[in-house]
Amino acid sequence: MNLPNLKEARVRSDKKVEYLENDNNIKKMFDGKKYFLKTYGCQMNVHDSEEIRKYLELLGFSETDTLEDSDIVVLNTCAIRENAHDKVFGYLGRCKHLKKDKKDLIVAIGGCMSQEENVVNEIKTKHPYVDIVFGTHNINEFPKLVMNATGIQDIEVYSCEGNVFENVLYSRDSKIKAWVNIMYGCDKFCTYCIVPYTRGKQRSRKMDKILKEVQELKNNGYKEITLLGQNVNAYAKDLNDKTTFAMLLEECAKIGIERIRFVTSHPWDFTDEMIDIIAKYDNIMPYIHLPLQAGSSKILKLMGRRYTKEEYIELFNKIKTRIPNVAITTDIIVGFPNETEEEFNETLDVVNKCKYDGAYTFIYSPREGTPAALMNDSIDLKTKEERLYKLNEIINKYSKEANEKLVGKIVKVLIEDVSEKDKEKVFGYTDTMKLVNVIGGSDKIGEIVDVKITDAKSFSLDGEVL
Ligand code: 5AD
Ligand code: SF4
């Protein structure tokens, strides 16, 4: 199998990664200057941006949401689908233009795209005004790169092998909910997916370090944590110390933080032990994101997913039976190479059986360097778009039905903030991750309150504080 560029990209630099023990090495040399930070992609990137933001603040920058006002532009990129690339190159065009008048502007690209050799080569050859390219594996090098970037046009990409960092500094988006990385990378190598190449092999953090972070978050008043990883239920398999994800979950629950959830789970690694722990503890949210990807066993095999349609449905039913009121959401890809109408209908069949609370749906996008990108594909884009449309209609119907079941019920909502659209309302999420717009809770931000649900839509609920 030919995976040339990306494998090289993983070991491109032998630079030793020095860990920034504390913030003393960062000089406030950009006081009064502004940063523009744009984040694409998954929760992992959102959380990485919290680290990037911390360094920008330590360097003296303050935030602006206007690119043209900024002294440094940082794009934290995603590589999972082609359209993510296009958006980033759109921003780069604006940076190029801006730099004509503003010579000191620093342009930095981080995230998954900077782990792709072909992208880095494209930046080097076609976008020489980019000052910094930094990877996903040692973001703590970012301040050094910025301090060196003034006046020096240089590109640095680091190796992504083997690092797990502790005591990472974050400027968190919320004072109520926090992300907690429990692992980095992924070893599953689903044939369509670029993540194992851009984020490297699976590296788990030690359980005691994670628990310490969770305890600190609780002490600091956080109400909800999300344990984060590409494949959380494979947690610790690389540590060889008999730790399991279920053990970690139980220890987190015992710390007593109000709400705990986790993303993302792979059906293949979902154990009975995990189901028991979720059912046992009230503060583990009855919410599971369980990517299906496809309903046909043949396509699942070609995707390298390691389960059949029947095994998935059996697991789904087991979770539903053993965890009362659980909400399950999923990810689905339509139009994997050569997917027939019959095979697509199998996906619809699973959706009709599982009646998901919600789903993220995608048209398959070939990613250079992955095995699936080498497969010939006889299905045209129009057919794929029609399938996506059809799938979404069914998904939305079930989301709405799940929401309608809650009308008239009293649910617990963690109130997060004033609603953007209607300043008279606040919004928050149930423990099953349903968005609720609430009347009469403005003094309850940061609290978990009882809300009576008054109306249901496809993607949200309305309610009032009791
Ligand atoms: N094309 C389309 N969707 C993809 N995903 C991952 N790789 C691809 C790809 N090449 C989807 C999967 C995954 C989600 C995060 O993105 O459904 O679960
Ligand atoms: Fe990608 Fe599969 Fe790993 Fe998820 S489990 S990140 S889809 S390789």
Q: Is the CB of 85 under 6 A from ligand 1?
A: no
pLDDT-derived band at 405, boundaries 50, 70, 90: very high
78-104 average pLDDT score:
89
| CA distances in angstroms from 337 to 36, 57, 197, 305, 344, listed in the order given | 38, 45, 21, 15, 12
**Distant-in-sequence, close-in-space partners of 408: CB < 8 Å, separation ≥ 6:** 452, 453
pLDDT-derived band at 18, boundaries 50, 70, 90: very low
Compute, in angstroms, the gap from residue 333 CA to the centroid of ligand 1. Answer: 7
Rounded distance, CA 200 to CA 186, Å? Answer: 7
Tokens of 220: 């600091």
Compute, in angstroms, the gap from residue 369 CA to the centroid of ligand 1. Answer: 15
pLDDT (0 to 100) of residue 5: 36
Q: What share of the chain is helix, strand, coil (3-state, %, to 5)?
A: 40, 20, 40
167-187 average pLDDT score:
94
Q: Which atom of ligand 2 is nearest to the CA of 196?
A: 8
Compute, in angstroms, the gap from residue 148 CA to the centroid of ligand 2. Answer: 35
Q: Is the confidence at residue 161, as pLDDT, over 80?
A: no
pLDDT (0 to 100) of residue 32: 93
Tokens of 234: 């494979």
Compute, in angstroms, the gap from residue 27 CA to the centroid of ligand 2. Answer: 38
Say what the pTM is.
0.92
| CA distances in angstroms from 214 to 94, 190, 335, 369, 440, listed in the order given | 40, 31, 40, 37, 31
448-456 vs 461-465, strand pairing mode: antiparallel
CA dihedral (391, 315, 367, 132) positive or negative: positive
Compute, in angstroms, the gap from residue 372 CA to the centroid of ligand 1. Answer: 12
pLDDT (0 to 100) of residue 160: 46
Counting residues of the chain whose pLDDT is more than 70, the rounded percentage is 92
Tokens of 333: 């890809």
pLDDT (0 to 100) of residue 401: 97
Compute, in angstroms, the gap from residue 47 CA to the centroid of ligand 1. Answer: 19
**Distant-in-sequence, close-in-space partners of 374: CB < 8 Å, separation ≥ 6:** 1, 2
Tokens of 451: 């809300």
Is 171 buried (19+), middle (13-18) or exposed (0-12) by CB count in 10 A? middle
pLDDT (0 to 100) of residue 433: 98
Q: Is the confidence at residue 438, as pLDDT, over 60?
A: yes
205-219 average pLDDT score:
96
Q: Which atom of ligand 1 is nearest to the CA of 264?
A: 18
Rounded distance, CA 38 to CA 394, Å? Answer: 33
pLDDT (0 to 100) of residue 6: 33
pLDDT-derived band at 162, boundaries 50, 70, 90: low
Q: Is the CB of 319 under 6 A from ligand 1?
A: no
pLDDT (0 to 100) of residue 134: 85
Tens of pLDDT, residue by residue over 231-285, are 999 999 999 899 999 999 999 999 999 999 999 999 999 999 999 999 999 999 9
pLDDT (0 to 100) of residue 167: 82
Q: Is the confidence at residue 463, as pLDDT, over 50?
A: yes
Tens of pLDDT, residue by residue over 22-57, are 566 677 889 999 999 999 999 999 999 999 999 999
**Residue ranges around ligand 2 (CB below 6 Å):** 186, 188-190, 193, 195-196, 230-231, 266
- Which of 45, 231, 232, 303 best tests ligand 2's pocket when mutated (most atoms within 8 Å of CB)? 231
pLDDT (0 to 100) of residue 114: 87
Rounded distance, CA 284 to CA 261, Å? Answer: 6
Rounded distance, CA 262 to CA 287, Å? Answer: 8
Tens of pLDDT, residue by residue over 303-361, are 999 999 999 999 999 999 999 899 999 999 999 999 999 999 999 999 999 999 999 99
pLDDT (0 to 100) of residue 150: 58
pLDDT (0 to 100) of residue 163: 67
Q: Is the CB of 80 under 6 A from ligand 1?
A: yes
